[in-house]
Chains A and B, each alone.
Chain A
Amino acid sequence: MSQTIRESYEEIAYPGFIYPQAHPDRLAVMAKLFGLNAPSIENCRVLELGCGDGTALISFAYSLPQSQFVGVDIAANHIEQGNEMIRTIGIDNITLKQLDVMTIDESFAEFDYIIAHGLISWIPDFVREKVFEICSKNLSPNGVVYLSYNTMPGCHLRKIAREMMLYHTRNVTNSQARAREGLSMIKFFSDNVVEPEVYKLILQNEFQSLSDVNIANVVHDDFSEINNPFYFYELMREAESRGLQFLSEADYIDMQDYYLKDQLRAMLFQLRNDVIEREQYLDFARGRRFRQTLLCRKDIQLNRTQTPQLIRELFIASAATAESEIPDIKGDTPERFVGLKTEEITSNNPLVKAALFVLGKTFPKSLGFYELLDSARELIEREDESRERDAVELGTLLLQIYRSALIELHLFKPSFTLEPDERPFASPVARYQVRSFDVVSTLRCDNCFLSEKLTRDVLQLLDGTKTHDFIKAELGISDDELENALLELKENALIEK
């Protein structure tokens, strides 16, 4: 691969974040919903191409101790950092290798899940072709591929800012300085553009999204020599030529159209039998700029109509809370439930309200379908004989709610506890990360920002050998302070025992 790409990544480390949407759990859930029986995640083989320092893959590997993980990246320092983390936390089901993906061939063995996050838009054409080849030749028969990439038409707007910044800073050699100068240039211009209005708005928007992320992200994403957005249909043609087919997007909500205007939904409905076409027009309707696409082998017969029955085999979790203080669960008053971000749903159906109420109280723990069903029925005092009827109804309703991302579906049950011992044991992955970073991977495999230094200090000490008293003495903190820190860590699924 290009020497410059390698050098650029060695110069500035890409901050280690986890991308939960690439976890084998998510890939397997989506596969199940679309009629593919993917290999069991408890005992699978996972390959990540362009794994960076392996933060995501290491977190995945820790969460699935019986599965095998291999990560490759061109940047030697990334791999060294990752290996240092692996040695420290002491797991043996993951290998990170510094190598050029061009050298991977069939002898590299077969994988059930292949992940390439933020890779194919940032590499030359011939390397991308190689990635597709690997996704085809090194994928097990029922395996699933995850590819994220920048997409058109939305990226045209991003290109406006990128190309301007690249030109403006073309003589700046230090890449961080380059990114900072580029950013302030966009800011300057977005302040000073007079017309057209839409152009001003674009620059303001781009400045906003560029300043919302870490500067290292800006360096690698926007200032990279290569940043190729693709139309969805183009990439799917390439996938097809490699014997692969579109399975779904990693985020179910990304395939939905319920929030669009009627006439657009009517058009998309007409395209329902051609999934590529429908997805492409969905991008046109939304102006999408980023995709996380799952692929599988072309010869697999998928079933694109999700049956509610499938939900019964999955675990369900939700951070939903009712907006009103004392929601009317049993009656038919409409109640609005909101998630952690912008997800929301309003329902007057007692079963839905009860289920969301139960899930919200249980979160971050998940529930099996029947556990949820029975708790919800108990809450609204349903008669025993209606259980199967309620099961059918709840399955249908949950699938609908999943479209808005207010609930999560899982195959995997993470190993965290809400009732830690006297000597709490926190995730070694998070304990390692928190030494140098304020964002850590939870045991549910998502990112968690710990804003309080005190919480971070407590987390570092939770190795299962230290009592509450010891920790308080060590850090010189009060009962309450420790209590609060432990509560935050517990609720973020960071404590294992």
Chain B
Amino acid sequence: MSQTIQESYESVAYPSNVQPQMHPDRLAVLAELFGMTPALIESCRVLELGCGDGSSLIAFANTLPNASFLGVDIAVNHIESGNGIIKNVGLKNIKLEQADVTKIDKSFGEFDYIIAHGFISWIPDFVREKVFEICSQNLAPNGVAYISYNTYPGFHHRQLVREILRYHVREIEKPYERAKQSADFLKFLTGATNKTEPYNLTLKQELENITDKPIEILLHDDIAEINQAFYFHEFISLAEKNNLQFLSEADFTQSQDYIYPENARAFLAHLKNESIVEFEQYIDFIKGRRFRQTLVCHKEVTLYRNANASAMQNFFLASSAKFQSNKPDLKGRRPEKFSKQNKASATTDNPLVKAALFYLMKQYPLYVRFDELLDKAVELSETKNETAANDLCNYLLEIYRSGLLELHQFQHPFTTKVSNAPKVSELVRNQLQTTQFVTTQRCVTINIPDEFSRKLLLLLDGTRDTQALIKGLSAWVNSSNAPLHEKKKFIEQLPNRLKVSLEQLANLALLVE
């Protein structure tokens, strides 16, 4: 692969966030929903192309100890840093290799899940073709491949800004300086053209998009040497050339049309009957989509395009939504609204659904198996109906479309009970050696900005009870430079603070059995 790409990634590492939407759990749920029989994730084989420092793959491996993971990347420093973490954490089911993907062939073996995140838009054409070839050749018959990429028409906005910025910094060599000058210039230009023309609003939107993001993203994504976008139909042509077909988007909510006016939905529904690829393409046109995370599978696989609601019965379910009302009416037909913070919302008057949601919310962050959920929903709503199971499946699928429900193939390995000697994963304690970003057992990256919590997490190795934890934390407080009376006060409040913090950590899915 191109020397410059390798060099660029070696001089400035890409900020690593875990991408939960490409966890084998998610891929298997969607595969099953569309009629496939995906490999059991507990014992699957996963390959990641362009794995970077392996953040995501390591997090996944940490949650699926009997599955095996292989990651490849061109950048030596990324692979070395990932392997350092793997060694320290003691993970045995994952391997990261520095390799050029163009060297991968059939002998590399077969994988149930192949993932390539933020990869194909940033590599030359011949490497991209190879990625599709691998996703076909090295994919098990019931395997699923995840490929994310920049897409048109929405990418035009980003490209417009990218080209301006690349021109502006064309003579600057130092990567960080390039990124800084780019960001500054975009800010300047946006501020200096404060009009409401589409052009000016485009600049404003792009500025908002890069603000709050690490500057490395600007460098590796926006002003990278290569940043190629594809129309969905172009992507599918590439996939079809390699005997692959469209399965789904990794984010199911992205392919929904319920927010659009009636006639637009009718138009889209008509397309969906004709061809799923057309439907997805026009969804992009109407959304102005700029990024996709597409799942593909072998062409020979027969799929149910309309999502198989009865697959719900095989899943674990969860919901972090909340009812608007403090006391939702679970037995009657009063409409109740439920929503996720500043995100989707929905309303239902169906007692069975209200009761099911109520139970899921109560259990959150733990997941609930369908059978248990059905029993509880029937019990809480006092519904007597022979079709209850079927009804619930259908309703839950609708709720899943709106993003208010999670579906899983397994219970991510965390506990909400604070034991006598609480424990966090080796991975978290290892991450805290160098950063304040940790990966939860639900495979989400979170920021732990306060030092107290970080200190506490480091002590949670499963050998310390409350006494020992208080002792450890007191020692930390005493070693600080704070005035004596403040230290004293802090130590007095420690038992209470510890209790609250441990509960919070449990709710964040950071505690393990």
Whole-angstrom distance between the Cβ of A166 and the nearest chain B Cβ = 10
Q: A189-B285, A285-B193 are in contact. Are A201 and B201 (CB under 8 A)?
A: yes
Identity of the chain B residue whose Cβ is nearest the Cβ of A205 in the assembled complex = B198
**B191 sits at the interface (CB 8 A):** yes
Q: Find A167's partner among B159, B164, B193, B281 (CB 8 Å cutoff).
A: B281
How far apart sit A198 and B288, CA to CA, in the bound complex (Å)? 10
Query: What residues of chain B lie closer than 8 Å to A260, measured between beta carbons?
Result: 192-193
How far apart sit A457 and B156, CA to CA, in the bound complex (Å)? 49
**A91 sits at the interface (CB 8 A):** no
Q: Are A157 and B198 in contact (CB under 8 A)?
A: yes
Q: Are B199 and A157 in contact (CB under 8 A)?
A: yes
How far apart sit A167 and B233, CA to CA, in the bound complex (Å)? 9
Query: What residues of chain A lie closer than 8 Å to B285, measured between beta carbons?
Result: 164, 189
Identity of the chain B residue whose Cβ is nearest the Cβ of A201 in the assembled complex = B198
Q: Are A164 and B192 in contact (CB under 8 A)?
A: no
Interface-facing stretch out of A4-12, A72-80, A148-156, A217-225: A148-156
**B152 sits at the interface (CB 8 A):** yes
Q: A198-B198, A264-B193 are in contact. Are A192 and B264 (CB under 8 A)?
A: yes
**A231 sits at the interface (CB 8 A):** yes
- Give the contacts of A154-186 with B (CB-CB under 8 A): 154, 156-157, 159-160, 163-164, 167
Give the A interface residue count (CB, 8 A).
35
Interface string of B221-236 (1 = CB under 8 A from A): 0000000000101000
Identity of the chain A residue whose Cβ is nearest the Cβ of B192 in the assembled complex = A264
How far apart sit A107 and B153, CA to CA, in the bound complex (Å)? 46
- Give the contacts of B277-306 with A (CB-CB under 8 A): 281, 285-288
Q: Which of A159, A196, A267 has the most chain B CB atoms closer than 10 A to its own CB?
A: A196
Q: Are A153 and B164 in contact (CB under 8 A)?
A: yes
How far apart sit A285 and B203, CA to CA, in the bound complex (Å)? 10
Identity of the chain A residue whose Cβ is nearest the Cβ of B206 in the assembled complex = A198
How far apart sit A202 and B152, CA to CA, in the bound complex (Å)? 14
Measured as residues with beta carbon below 8 angstroms from the partner, the interface class of chain B is 35 or more
**B395 sits at the interface (CB 8 A):** no
Identity of the chain B residue whose Cβ is nearest the Cβ of A284 in the assembled complex = B164
Q: Are B153 and A164 in contact (CB under 8 A)?
A: yes
How far apart sit A260 and B286, CA to CA, in the bound complex (Å)? 33
Identity of the chain B residue whose Cβ is nearest the Cβ of A200 in the assembled complex = B288
Q: Are B159 and A231 in contact (CB under 8 A)?
A: no
Query: What residues of chain B lie closer than 8 Å to A196, measured between beta carbons?
Result: 205, 288
Whole-angstrom distance between the Cβ of A276 and the nearest chain B Cβ = 11
Query: What residues of chain B lie closer than 8 Å to A264, measured between beta carbons?
Result: 189, 192-193
Q: Are B167 and A231 in contact (CB under 8 A)?
A: yes
Whole-angstrom distance between the Cβ of A227 and the nearest chain B Cβ = 14
Q: Are B199 and A154 in contact (CB under 8 A)?
A: yes
Identity of the chain A residue whose Cβ is nearest the Cβ of B191 in the assembled complex = A263
How far apart sit A267 and B185, CA to CA, in the bound complex (Å)? 11
Q: Are A198 and B201 in contact (CB under 8 A)?
A: yes
**B431 sits at the interface (CB 8 A):** no
Q: A164-B153, A263-B191 are in contact. Are A280 and B205 (CB under 8 A)?
A: no
**B490 sits at the interface (CB 8 A):** no
Query: What residues of chain A lie closer than 8 Å to B200, measured between beta carbons?
Result: 287
Query: What residues of chain A lie closer than 8 Å to B475, measured between beta carbons?
Result: none
Whole-angstrom distance between the Cβ of A474 and the nearest chain B Cβ = 51
Q: Are A153 and B263 in contact (CB under 8 A)?
A: no
How far apart sit A199 and B201, CA to CA, in the bound complex (Å)? 9
Q: Which of B153, B157, B164, B192 has the most chain A CB atoms closer than 10 A to its own CB?
A: B153
Q: Are B199 and A287 in contact (CB under 8 A)?
A: yes
**A385 sits at the interface (CB 8 A):** no
Q: Are B188 and A192 in contact (CB under 8 A)?
A: no
- Give the contacts of B252-268 with A (CB-CB under 8 A): 259-261, 263-264, 267
How far apart sit A469 and B201, CA to CA, in the bound complex (Å)? 60
Query: What residues of chain A lie closer than 8 Å to B160, measured between beta carbons?
Result: 152-153, 156-157
Whole-angstrom distance between the Cβ of A436 and the nearest chain B Cβ = 37
How far apart sit A233 and B263, CA to CA, in the bound complex (Å)? 45
Whole-angstrom distance between the Cβ of A197 and the nearest chain B Cβ = 7
**B163 sits at the interface (CB 8 A):** yes
Q: Which of A192, A201, A205, A286 has the most chain B CB atoms closer than 10 A to its own CB?
A: A192
Q: A167-B231, A260-B192 are in contact. Are A198 and B202 (CB under 8 A)?
A: yes
How far apart sit A194 and B258, CA to CA, in the bound complex (Å)? 11
- Give the contacts of A369-412 with B (CB-CB under 8 A): none
Query: What residues of chain A lie closer than 8 Å to B203, measured between beta carbons?
Result: 287
Query: What residues of chain A lie closer than 8 Å to B451, measured between beta carbons?
Result: none
**A109 sits at the interface (CB 8 A):** no
Chain A binding surface SS class: helix
Whole-angstrom distance between the Cβ of A88 and the nearest chain B Cβ = 44
How far apart sit A407 and B198, CA to CA, in the bound complex (Å)? 30
How far apart sit A280 and B287, CA to CA, in the bound complex (Å)? 31
Whole-angstrom distance between the Cβ of B271 and the nearest chain A Cβ = 11
**B141 sits at the interface (CB 8 A):** no
**A261 sits at the interface (CB 8 A):** yes
Identity of the chain B residue whose Cβ is nearest the Cβ of A157 in the assembled complex = B198
**B173 sits at the interface (CB 8 A):** no
How far apart sit A199 and B288, CA to CA, in the bound complex (Å)? 6
**B197 sits at the interface (CB 8 A):** yes
Query: What residues of chain A lie closer than 8 Å to B281, measured between beta carbons?
Result: 167
**A193 sits at the interface (CB 8 A):** yes
**B194 sits at the interface (CB 8 A):** yes
Q: Find A163's partner among B152, B192, B261, B288 (CB 8 Å cutoff).
A: B152
- Give the contacts of A265-312 with B (CB-CB under 8 A): 267, 280, 284-287
Identity of the chain B residue whose Cβ is nearest the Cβ of A160 in the assembled complex = B153
Q: Are B159 and A194 in contact (CB under 8 A)?
A: no
**B365 sits at the interface (CB 8 A):** no
Whole-angstrom distance between the Cβ of B296 and the nearest chain A Cβ = 21
Identity of the chain A residue whose Cβ is nearest the Cβ of B156 in the assembled complex = A156
Query: What residues of chain B lie closer than 8 Å to A258, measured between beta carbons?
Result: none
Q: Are A231 and B157 in contact (CB under 8 A)?
A: no
Q: Are A194 and B202 in contact (CB under 8 A)?
A: no
Interface string of B155-173 (1 = CB under 8 A from A): 0110110011001000000
Q: Are A263 and B264 in contact (CB under 8 A)?
A: no
Identity of the chain B residue whose Cβ is nearest the Cβ of A203 in the assembled complex = B288
Q: Are A153 and B163 in contact (CB under 8 A)?
A: yes
Interface string of A60-102 (1 = CB under 8 A from B): 0000000000000000000000000000000000000000000
**B154 sits at the interface (CB 8 A):** yes
- Give the contacts of B208-241 with A (CB-CB under 8 A): 231, 233
How far apart sit A264 and B231, CA to CA, in the bound complex (Å)? 35
**A437 sits at the interface (CB 8 A):** no
Query: What residues of chain B lie closer than 8 Å to A470, measured between beta carbons?
Result: none
Q: Are A280 and B167 in contact (CB under 8 A)?
A: yes
Query: What residues of chain A lie closer than 8 Å to B231, measured between beta carbons?
Result: 163, 167
Q: Are A192 and B156 in contact (CB under 8 A)?
A: no
Identity of the chain A residue whose Cβ is nearest the Cβ of B197 in the assembled complex = A287
**A252 sits at the interface (CB 8 A):** no
How far apart sit A174 and B139, CA to CA, in the bound complex (Å)? 44
Q: Which of B189, B267, B285 has the most chain A CB atoms closer than 10 A to its own CB?
A: B285
Whole-angstrom distance between the Cβ of B364 and the nearest chain A Cβ = 28
Beyond contacts A160-B288, A188-B263: 17 other A-B pairs, Cβ-Cβ < 8 A, are A156-B157, A160-B152, A160-B156, A163-B153, A192-B260, A192-B263, A197-B201, A198-B204, A198-B205, A260-B192, A260-B193, A261-B193, A264-B192, A280-B167, A284-B189, A286-B193, A287-B197
Which residues in A have some Cβ–Cβ distance to B below 8 Å?
A: 152-154, 156-157, 159-160, 163-164, 167, 188-189, 191-194, 196-199, 201-202, 205, 231, 233, 260-261, 263-264, 267, 280, 284-287
| Pairs A–B under 8 Å by Cβ, sample size 28 | A153-B163, A153-B199, A154-B199, A156-B156, A156-B157, A157-B199, A159-B156, A160-B153, A163-B153, A167-B281, A188-B263, A188-B267, A189-B286, A192-B260, A194-B259, A198-B201, A198-B202, A198-B204, A199-B287, A199-B288, A201-B198, A231-B163, A260-B193, A263-B191, A285-B189, A285-B193, A287-B200, A287-B202
CB-based closest 10 A-B pairs? A287-B199, A199-B288, A192-B264, A156-B160, A198-B201, A264-B192, A156-B156, A202-B198, A160-B153, A153-B160
Which residues in B have some Cβ–Cβ distance to A below 8 Å?
A: 152-154, 156-157, 159-160, 163-164, 167, 188-189, 191-194, 197-205, 231, 233, 259-261, 263-264, 267, 281, 285-288
